[in-house]
Structure 1
Amino acid sequence: MTLIERLKDEQKAAMKAKDKPRLGTIRLVMAAIKQREVDEKITLSEDDVLAVLTKMVKQRRDSVAQYEAAGRQDLADVELAEITVLEEFMPQPLTDDEVAALLDEAIAATGAASMQDMGKLMGVLKPQVQGRADMGKVSQLVKAKLG
């Protein structure tokens, strides 16, 4: 079952269960996917849908930090609930050891030796860790290894 089919099934289930917060979040995802398809005049692949989900989770995490800094826990809780729903559709996150192992494999495959090779290395790593690890942390690990 593709990710889009799974989202549609979950949307129907949320409608039947009258779960408005979950339904609203899934509708936001479907709208973001449809918007990107219309803008780019393409049908999104699984990786593209995963990229949309990853972006939405990142946006919500940023919002949570801003709401908490402003003392608006009520709004932060809404964003946290949306993150929980979004993460159900994301693949299992990688552990730090798994990310380190993938990094070592990518370094061996590309022959990266300095910071000048970071772009090439990230190009190899990104498809493997997309949606499964925080790209900011991955970037920091790459810099630590190459620097």
Structure 2
Amino acid sequence: MSVQAQVMEQMKAAMKSKDTVALEALRALKSAFLLANTSGSNVDLSSEDEIKIVQKLVKQRKDSAAIFQEQDRNDLAEPELAQAKILEQFLPEQINEEELTSAINEIISQTGASSMRDMGKVMGIASKQLAGKADGKAISTIVKQLLS
């Protein structure tokens, strides 16, 4: 079942249970899918594209929550974090830091990278291999640690 079909099923369940936070998050996701579907190309979204859209929305929610928390507005941060948690269920299981470090070490050894000058090469490969499984910021942080 595609992510879009799962979103529709979850929306129906949220409407029946009157879960407004889940409904708001799912409607935003459905809207993003519709926008991407109608943005010019007549090709349906691939599963990778769907995952990228979900990741983008989760990141937006988490960034907004971080800003609200900096401003001591927990009343606004909590719904954002709740929506991010609901959207994360549509992402593949995230790998932990230990697995991420070993995967990046393997990429570094394959490419022969030895300094920060090679970071772009390593990041390009790592981003493709670990797409959907790890956050880009986490990948970048570990690559910097290993190359410096």
TM-score by length of 1: 0.89
**CA offsets, 1:53-96, max 9 Å, x none?**
11111111111111122222111111111011111111211111
Q: Which residue pairs with 1:26 in the alignment?
A: 26
**CA offsets, 1:111-141, max 9 Å, x none?**
2223232222112111332233221121121
**CA offsets, 1:18-73, max 9 Å, x none?**
32221221110011122122225242211111111111111111111111222221
The residue type equivalent to 2:53 in the other structure is V
Q: Which residue pairs with 1:77 in the alignment?
A: 78
Q: Which residue pairs with 1:50 in the alignment?
A: 51
User: Counterparts of 2:88 and 2:76 in 1: how far apart (Å)?
Assistant: 19
Q: Which residue pairs with 2:13 in the alignment?
A: 13
Q: Which residue pairs with 1:65 in the alignment?
A: 66
Q: Which residue pairs with 2:147 in the alignment?
A: 146
Moved over 6 A (4+): none
Structure 2 unaligned residues grouped into runs of 5+: none
The 5 A counterparts of 1:127-138 are: 127-138=128-139
User: Counterparts of 1:73 and 1:143 in 2: how far apart (Å)?
Assistant: 32
Say whether 1:3 aligns with 2:3: yes
Q: How many residues align?
A: 147
The residue type equivalent to 2:105 in the other structure is D
Which range is displaced more, 33-42 or 48-57?
33-42
Structure 1 unaligned residues grouped into runs of 5+: none
Identity value in percent? 37
Q: Is the 8 A contact 2:105 2:146 kept in 1?
A: no
- Judging changes above 3 Å, is the alpha-carbon distance between structure 1 residues 40 and 94 closer, same or farther for their aligned structure 2 residues? farther
Q: Is the 8 A contact 2:94 2:132 kept in 1?
A: yes
Structure 1 residue 2: deviation in Å? 2.0
Which range is displaced more, 129-138 or 44-53?
129-138
TM-score by length of 2: 0.88
Which range is displaced more, 106-115 or 84-93?
106-115
The 5 A counterparts of 1:94-113 are: 94-113=95-114
User: Counterparts of 1:105 and 1:40 in 2: how far apart (Å)?
Assistant: 39
